[in-house]
Structure 1
């Protein structure tokens, strides 16, 4: 958590942070949502693939998170 806080402090002009993590990484999901304040904004799956990633495997499940920073 301290590393994430240091990143936010190092880049105070960032308006929105974005990251992705695979569905099976439950600890990552918990960390980003419950510890760092991210929101899950998209769920990539075979019916909704990552179109901007041409080699995205159809069987993969990923979450996209965003964190809106207040000014």
Structure 2
């Protein structure tokens, strides 16, 4: 996944919206993690409690974050 930080954050937010009721029910409806740590935590929950497509998409986003981020 070769892309910039803003598009990755947008993709994470879209994934959060799609799986909020299934995997992130405990988050407020208007909450979107902005720090890498929170984004990774949300992606982990989506991988654990989402379907196969969610797992694959979250894994790709997680990999990008781990390779390109250092904002913690």
Same fold (TM over 0.5): no
- Return the structure number with greater helix share: 2
Identify the structure with bigger relative contact order (alpha carbons < 8 Å, sequence gap 6+): 1
- Return the structure number with greater strand share: 1
> Greater Rg, structure 1 or structure 2?
1
What TM-score, normalized by structure 2, do the two folds share? 0.30
